Amino acid sequence: VSGSDCGHVFIWEAASGRLLRLMHGDRWVVNCLEPHPWQPLVLATSGIEETVKVWAPTGEPLPQDPAEVTRITGLNQSRRQRAQRGRQG
C-alpha cells in the first residue's frame, strides 16, 4: 500500500508488484497511511485536506478504469523523471 503526491492510494500485490487497486484519497497528496490496529483489512489515509478516510472492503468489486490507471501512473512517472533530472542538473 502506498500514498502518492497525486492524491491517490495504490494497493499492490507484494509478490508480483502488480497494481490491484487505485483509489482517490485526497485532492492533493496522500502522505499518511495507517492500518487498523486489530482489523486486518481496514486502512486510514490522510493528506493535505483536513479529512481522514477510512477504507474497508465491502465485498463488492469496484469498477477500475484501465485508461484512468494508465493516465495517473504515467503522470506520476513523468513527475519522478522531471524531479530526478532537476536533482542531476
Strand partners, 46: 32, 52
Write 22-25 long-range contacts (CB < 8 A, 24+).
22/64, 22/68, 22/69, 22/72, 23/55, 23/62, 25/53
Question: What pTM was estimated for this model as a whole?
Answer: 0.76
The Cα 81–Cα 77 span in angstroms is: 6
Per-residue model confidence as pLDDT tens digits over 27-37: 899 999 999 99
| C-alpha atoms less than 13 angstroms from C-alpha of 22 in its C-beta half-sphere | 17
Mean pLDDT by 10 residues, the chain (89 residues): 91 91 90 93 92 88 80 87 82
Per-residue model confidence as pLDDT tens digits over 47-60: 998 899 999 988 77
31: Cα separation from own chain's centroid: 9
Task: Report the amino acid identity of residue 76.
Answer: N
